[in-house]
Amino acid sequence: MAVVNSPMHIRPFEEKDRSAVIRLWKETGLVVPHNDPDKDIDRKLEVNPELFLVGEAGGELVATVMGGYEGHRGWINYLAVKPGRQRSGHGRLMAEAVERLLAAKGCPKINLQIRATNTDVIEFYTALGYGNDNVVGLGKRLIQDQ
């Protein structure tokens, strides 16, 4: 599919965006069986909802990013760009927008997790200045969505 270069407007998530956001996350492979995207959105709206951004271009929702900050480190989750609009700068703009918001909160460093097999996304973040901290990411699920 050809890259569509049209201006993108970035704004905070609104409830009317929910179905388009979930559709985008599914289309880009961000939804995994142990995560319920509706519940992830509900949880985000309880903590720093202003760090949940969407990008619109050509009258449609084409990008998302979810930032988080707990006073020590910032996090980036659910950065997604519609496949036909990838490699057009939209991902970089979304990352930069959430980075600015995190910096304004006094966040000293941003972390993110990428599946080791997702080399395209690793290259994307590397080009934005992110580096491998040579740490092991561990997780423990406290609530089962399914």
What pTM was estimated for this model as a whole? 0.90
Tens of pLDDT, residue by residue over 62-107, are 999 999 999 999 999 999 999 999 999 999 999 999 999 999 999 9
Q: How far is CA 41 from the centre of its chain?
A: 12
Query: What's the domain count of the chain?
Result: 1
Residue 9 and residue 55 in contact, taking contact as beta carbons nearer than 8 Å: yes
Q: Does residue 145 belong to any structural domain of this protein? A: no
Report in angstroms the alpha-carbon separations of 74 from 49, 68, 70: 14, 5, 7
Q: Does residue 134 belong to any structural domain of this protein? A: no
- The pLDDT score that the predictor gives to residue 138 is 82
Q: Does residue 13 belong to any structural domain of this protein? A: yes
Tens of pLDDT, residue by residue over 7-57, are 899 999 999 999 999 999 999 999 887 889 999 999 999 999 999 999 999
Question: Residue 109, Cβ neighbours under 10 Å: how many?
Answer: 9
- The pLDDT score that the predictor gives to residue 2 is 42
CA distance 130 to 116: 15
